Amino acid sequence: MANSKYEYVKSFETLDKLLPNVWIVVRVDGRSFHKFTQKHEYQKPNDERGIQLMNRCAFEVCQEFTDIVIAFGESDEYSFVLGRSCNLFERRESKISSSIVSYFTSQFVYRWREYFNDYPLRYPPTFDSRAVCYPSNENLRDYLSWRQADTHINNLYNTCFWTLVLKGNKTPAEAEAALCGTLAEQKNEILFTQFQINYNNLPQMYRKGSVIYRKLVEESYLDQKSNQQKSKFKKRLVIEHIDIISDKFWKENPSLLNDK
**Residue ranges at the known binding site for GTP:** 29-34, 75-76
**Helix, strand, or coil here: 78?**
strand
Distance CA 96, CA 20 (A): 14
Output the known binding site for Mg(2+): 29-30, 76
Which residues are CB-neighbours of 194 under 8 A, at least 6 positions away?
168
Output the known binding site: 29-34, 75-76
Nearest C-alpha neighbor of 239 from the set 57, 26, 59, 61? 59
CA geometry: angle at 254 spanning 56 and 137, to 5°? 85
- Per 3-state DSSP, the chain is made up of helix, strand and coil in percentages (nearest 5) of 50, 20, 30
Neighbours of 90 (CB within 10 A): 9
Distance CA 231, CA 225 (A): 14
Cβ proximity of 156 and 149 under 8 Å: no
